[in-house]
Amino acid sequence: MSRGINVDYINPFIEATIHTFQTMCGVTPVRDRVFLKGDGEEVYGVSGIIGLGGEATGAVVLNFPEQVAVRTVSKFIGEEITSITAGVVDGVGELTNIIAGDAKNRLIQKGYKFEIGLPKIVTGRSYITAQNKSVPCLVVSFASEFGKFCLEVSLKKIG
């Protein structure tokens, strides 16, 4: 456990992200860097957010710059998209849901008890995601042929 973060909770999300992109988008993202979230130097265009509960509470956030979201969802649905549309928003939500579900199953296999909520999507021009200061947030940056994107995992053990 480092700075309140249980790596045993985080690795299933990293594994689930790589697996989901391989199977659903035909691309293997490469983990670029892992760091504790600071005051928000990362700027995004589309984010999928899922709340987590069980023995730890928090959230997982899949963050994409606009064009990376468009390219990723185009490949995911097998249809060329050129800008942010309702389809891109839905696609990011579905990818976030698949990753969270896969990670939840991986956590259950390790003996942990987790529940996931429904995905919420945020879109906009160059926004910064904020965090709850009482819950450490680990950011995992990935590089892919679609561009860079980030996975944020913030979990706090109950009790």
126, part of any domain? yes
In the 8-state DSSP scheme, what is residue 111?
T
82, part of any domain? yes
72, part of any domain? yes
Q: What is the pLDDT of residues 22-42, one digit of tens each?
A: 999 999 999 998 888 875 566
Count: domains in the chain:
1
Question: Cα separation of 44 and 106, whole Å?
Answer: 28
54, part of any domain? yes
Element spanning 158, H or E:
none
Residue with tokens 């710059």: 65
Contact 104, 9 (CB under 8 A): no
Percent of the chain's residues with pLDDT above 70: 87
For every residue of 51-80, DSSP letters joined together read EEEESEEEEEEEEE-HHHHHHHHHHHHTS-
Q: What is the pLDDT of residues 142-151, one digit of tens each?
A: 999 999 999 9
1, part of any domain? no
Q: Could you tell me the pTM of the whole model? A: 0.89
79, part of any domain? yes
Q: From the DSSP assignment, how many helices (H) and strands (E) are in the chain?
A: 3, 7
2, part of any domain? no
Angle at 143 between CA 16 and CA 115, to 5 degrees: 25
Contact 12, 107 (CB under 8 A): yes
Q: Domain residues for 107?
A: 7-157
Q: What is the CATH number of the domain that holds 23?
A: 3.40.1550.10
63, part of any domain? yes
